[in-house]
Structure 1
Amino acid sequence: MKKVIIIGAGVAGLSAAIRLKTLGFDVEIYEKNEKVGGRMFSIEERGFKFDVGPTIVMMPDFYKEVFSFSGVNPDDYIKMVQVDPLNVIHFQDGTSVRVSSNLPKLMSELEQFGMKETDGYLAYLADVYERYAIVKETFLDKSYRKPREFFNPKTLHSVLKLRTLNSAYSSISKFVKDEKLRQILSFQTLYIGVSPFSGPSIYTIIPMIELLYGVWYIQGGMYQMAKAMERRFIEMGGKIRLNSPVDEILTLSGKVTGVLVNNKPIYSDIVLCNADFPWALNNLIKDDNIKGKYVPKKLDKMDYAASSFVIYLGLKKKYKTSVHAIRFAKNFKQNIDELDKDILPDDPSFYMYSPSQIDSSVAPDNKELIYVLVPVPNMKSGQFEWDFGMTESYKDKIIDLIEKIPGFEDIKANIEVLKIYTPKTYGYKFNLEHGATFGLKPTLLQSVYFRPQPKFKTIENLYFTGSSTHPGAGVPIVMAGAKLAVNEILKDHTTHE
């Protein structure tokens, strides 16, 4: 039985671990933090249970499949309910739009913008669904070892059909003319840390997936998914070593031999790294001569996604809101352009998540939990220290903006618990290069074949998975990436006994 060491118990690491264990490998995970989950983390204080990172469940079949693959019923591990509306959008003029995946409800909201705009909105869904089918069949289930696997007539024809040279916003603008509708259909690219004004148009599949497949909620909060995968892996005989940061990936003659933990070598046949790819290359592989093209100079030149400033609020009273809500800046484009220019937004758009609207287990009785995520620049430029003064000042600014949303005028007076994660926190807590919450930015030249692949080319038996590795960021996508990594391991290790 071949031994696999997995570095990091994030979503992709846990998912891959379950798959590998099912396939007969001996699997051991080393995790730096005190509990599993990676960015799918949790904070608990005074009865409030905060999801730290991802909060939106899309494509629920991806979540369930890892349990089914291992031979159990997913419903015995996670309980999901569909969320409606998907989100409520708050604009600066005081208007709001409730976006629903329920067609009659959606039509009622859309027709307020006129029949022509409604027709354009529906035409957009049909157009992007066709492109999604291409992505799923051609790119999401495939990794690339050799150039010819990407540079061939069939694949390049699929690339042309995707019309990737357009930005997400310009692609949407061909279908709808109303600025509010354009914003409603474009902000979702921020889920993976890329601007809708510069990011490839293929990322318009995100709002399409929300609308056609729905948004779901895992009872108890998103962290229950991490706990469920941990439970399943341990049931299968897997081992997880918490509070055990890996110091180095050990190699000999171009071949991985294991890892170094607390100055002690732990040997294995295979290493699968779920630590963020750029951070791992800079910190865990000590010899630059065996990194291939990913030497420090190359990694420094790569583009990194935006980061996040997150406020976790435990409130003394109930508030009438939705599970998911968006507050748009007065000038959305300026706000997003500022992120790309390393300017801290003065009037930012932000996302609000309140699972206590439908789940009484995440907050004490008659109290509310609200998570507020503000996209901010990563720390690559070196101009943002996120010290105490800067953090407090920006926190006060965001809370002042929340109080301007109807129904939240007294939120400041009702704060019982307040926690903050800044880009700096994401950097040291989860080993993210430059504190970039979503890893490498999914630009055209950092996507698909051009993104780091699951199999590392210059070190034998070393593999990668996670947000900065193909196919990219987002919980369902990194789970797809874990599957790709496992498939790559199988190509090289067909016999495990």
Structure 2
Amino acid sequence: MPQKKAVIIGAGVAGIATAIRLAVKGYAVEVYESNSYPGGKLSEFEQDGYRFDAGPSLFTMPQYVDELFKLAGKSPADYFGYQKLDIVCNYFYDDGTRLSAYADTEKFAREIESKTGEPAKNVISHLAKSSDIYSITNHVFLERSLHRLKTYLRWDTLLSIVRFPKIDPFRTMHKANSSGFKDARVVQFFNRYATYNGSDPYQAPATLNVIPHLEHHFGAYFPHDGMYSITKSLVKLAEELGVKFNYNYKADEIVVINNAAKGIRAKGQNILADVVVSNMDIWFTYQRLLGKYPKLHPQKILNQERSSSALIFYWGVKKQFPELDLHNIFFSADYKAEFEHIWKHQDIYRDPTVYLNISSKYKTDDAPAGCENWFVMINVPANNGQDWDKLIADARKNIVYKLSKILGEEISALIVSESILDPRSIESKTSSYKGSIYGTSSNNQFAAFLRHANKSSKVKGLYFCGGSVHPGGGIPLCLLSAKITADLIS
């Protein structure tokens, strides 16, 4: 029997993982990537002696990476190494409060109590509820397709349905957190997890309170060679399994004949395949690759609200700050106003919450001696035609002022190298519609069910993976989308 061929559009982490899984299944796999490098958002660059991971900077659920090597009969340690963080993140508040989010739950709860007065038992209780939400939703919402009847006929799914009220879908995250904690700083701390999938805690369902469990139970990690080593190690594994990567090779069209995907068209030629998997943002998949077939377009899904985007400054800083760690958060003094600006006004609040990642804290050669590589990010709206040049200039000034005030140092004088990524360049580099990082937002209580399926219901042999489809964005969910997609391909 001749070997079946699969073509994957896009070498993002989900596309690479899908390629590995299909290669293990015996498919001949080719990946077509429009950029000159793999990884999509999970990429890197060097500038003026500083190395930066360009995109995702938080690494959780490493078991989903390890699983790919084990699936191929390989030892993960031969390809990829990482260490667990004792401190997940440092938090800085406008009133001078400083918190360290320890990986150890008891230690973290005591830290909260000592710095804010919030009883440690409230933190322990909240994390227990987070664990309950995970146990109810994990096997149903994250690890299986929501668009197959057999998912709902399983015994564990039926048990989850019975426990459905416990996932707290009918309150907003903010309302749930406000009822669980007395101190506004602790409420703000747990509200922040809505940003992990580009959503608004004042709109998003309290079900998203599952996210703290991923950090405080499974932990946060740092790859020894930086975040981009995830991409490099998976590409190496894929190539060893026979996967062929074609870079600078833009797919122009998915070839559909008699309602079946027969391959792609690229560089003026048809590339035939038995299976086509798009790792491109679902909006661009339909508008660009299936533009000739408007009747196939799921307009309700394509018209859904997009997730937030990001504005990132990559700064080479000629000083080291011992009070900073790998992950650092500088909170806005008015969190509600910040999200109103993002979602209602579609602009940037004058006092944004700032995320600062410094990989040179753990990988010292990422910056020259005595220096640090600062990945400085704020949440911003998706691109809807705003005057980004003005927004960026104002945001930079406000960020520098905020960091200088809290750290007691004039930061602008220390910046010796700078590069910027904004919603426009996120869209152009990664084909993420409007620069939204996570596809559609999760501000709707039924968002998990409204995401696009991993398999086309109208075109035989056409599948989808990545952050814009089920189960969502972020490295762990993208890897799970690959698993779901590969399982759907028989």
Q: CA deviation at 1:9?
A: 0.5
Deviates more, 1:103-112 or 1:237-246: 103-112
Alignment length, in residue pairs? 483
Q: C-alpha offsets along residues 54-75 of structure 1, whole Å, 9 cap, x if unaligned?
A: 1111112112111111111111
Distance in 2 between residues matched to 1:477 and 1:233, nearest whole Å: 19
Distance in 2 between residues matched to 1:225 and 1:486, nearest whole Å: 20
Write the letter of the residue equivalent to 1:122.
I
Q: Is residue 371 of structure 2 the alignment partner of residue 367 of structure 1?
A: yes
Q: CA deviation at 1:400?
A: 2.3
Q: Is residue 335 of structure 2 the alignment partner of residue 337 of structure 1?
A: no
Q: C-alpha offsets along residues 25-55 of structure 1, whole Å, 9 cap, x if unaligned?
A: 0000001111000110111112211111111
Deviates more, 1:279-288 or 1:187-196: 279-288
For residues 26-37 of structure 1, the aligned pairs below 5 Å read: 26-37=28-39
What is the SS of the residue equivalent to 1:243?
coil
Distance in 2 between residues matched to 1:300 and 1:252, nearest whole Å: 23
Q: CA deviation at 1:299?
A: 4.8
Write the letter of the residue equivalent to 1:175.
G
Q: CA deviation at 1:79?
A: 1.1
Write the letter of the residue equivalent to 1:257.
K
Write the letter of the residue equivalent to 1:228.
S
- Unaligned residue ranges in structure 2 (runs of 5+): none
Write the letter of the residue equivalent to 2:379.
P
Q: CA deviation at 1:399?
A: 1.9
For residues 12-411 of structure 1, the aligned pairs below 5 Å read: 12-103=14-105, 105-112=107-114, 117-146=119-148, 149=151, 156-292=161-297, 294-295=298-299, 298-299=300-301, 301-320=303-322, 321-341=324-344, 342-380=346-384, 382=385, 384-387=386-389, 389-407=390-408, 409-411=409-411
Tell me which residue corresponds to 1:441.
441
Q: C-alpha offsets along residues 346-393 of structure 1, whole Å, 9 cap, x if unaligned?
A: 11112110111121121222211110110001113x3x1424x54334
Write the letter of the residue equivalent to 2:175.
S
C-alpha spacing 1:305/1:180, structure 2 compared with 1 (3 Å): same
Q: C-alpha offsets along residues 136-184 of structure 1, whole Å, 9 cap, x if unaligned?
A: 1222121033568559966643433322111112222222111111111
Deviates more, 1:358-367 or 1:228-237: 358-367
| Contact 1:445–1:451, Cα closer than 8 Å, also in 2 | no
| Contact 1:150–1:449, Cα closer than 8 Å, also in 2 | no
Q: C-alpha offsets along residues 74-100 of structure 1, whole Å, 9 cap, x if unaligned?
A: 111111111231111111112211110
| Contact 1:173–1:182, Cα closer than 8 Å, also in 2 | yes
Distance in 1 between residues matched to 2:394 and 2:55, nearest whole Å: 22
TM-score between the two structures when normalised by the length of structure 1 = 0.93
Distance in 2 between residues matched to 1:449 and 1:107, nearest whole Å: 34
C-alpha spacing 1:95/1:414, structure 2 compared with 1 (3 Å): same
Tell me which residue corresponds to 2:473.
473
Q: CA deviation at 1:104?
A: 5.0
| Contact 1:290–1:459, Cα closer than 8 Å, also in 2 | no
C-alpha spacing 1:87/1:391, structure 2 compared with 1 (3 Å): same
Deviates more, 1:147-156 or 1:470-479: 147-156
| Contact 1:117–1:178, Cα closer than 8 Å, also in 2 | no
What is the SS of the residue equivalent to 1:403?
helix
Q: C-alpha offsets along residues 429-448 of structure 1, whole Å, 9 cap, x if unaligned?
A: 11111111221112446633
| Contact 1:220–1:361, Cα closer than 8 Å, also in 2 | no
Q: CA deviation at 1:290?
A: 4.1
What is the SS of the residue equivalent to 1:21?
helix
Write the letter of the residue equivalent to 1:373.
M
Sequence identity (%): 28
| Contact 1:143–1:449, Cα closer than 8 Å, also in 2 | no
Distance in 2 between residues matched to 1:21 and 1:446, nearest whole Å: 34
Write the letter of the residue equivalent to 2:355.
Y
What is the SS of the residue equivalent to 1:404?
helix
| Contact 1:378–1:435, Cα closer than 8 Å, also in 2 | yes
Deviates more, 1:365-374 or 1:479-488: 365-374
C-alpha spacing 1:468/1:81, structure 2 compared with 1 (3 Å): same
Distance in 1 between residues matched to 2:163 and 2:292, nearest whole Å: 38
Write the letter of the residue equivalent to 2:74.
V
Distance in 1 between residues matched to 2:423 and 2:455, nearest whole Å: 29
C-alpha spacing 1:344/1:34, structure 2 compared with 1 (3 Å): same
| Contact 1:58–1:215, Cα closer than 8 Å, also in 2 | yes
Q: CA deviation at 1:105?
A: 3.2
Distance in 2 between residues matched to 1:278 and 1:150, nearest whole Å: 28
Tell me which residue corresponds to 1:495.
none
C-alpha spacing 1:149/1:228, structure 2 compared with 1 (3 Å): closer
What is the SS of the residue equivalent to 2:489?
helix
What is the SS of the residue equivalent to 2:60?
coil
Q: C-alpha offsets along residues 388-432 of structure 1, whole Å, 9 cap, x if unaligned?
A: x5433432332222211225x132112121000000011111111
Q: CA deviation at 1:114?
A: 6.9
Deviates more, 1:152-161 or 1:355-364: 152-161
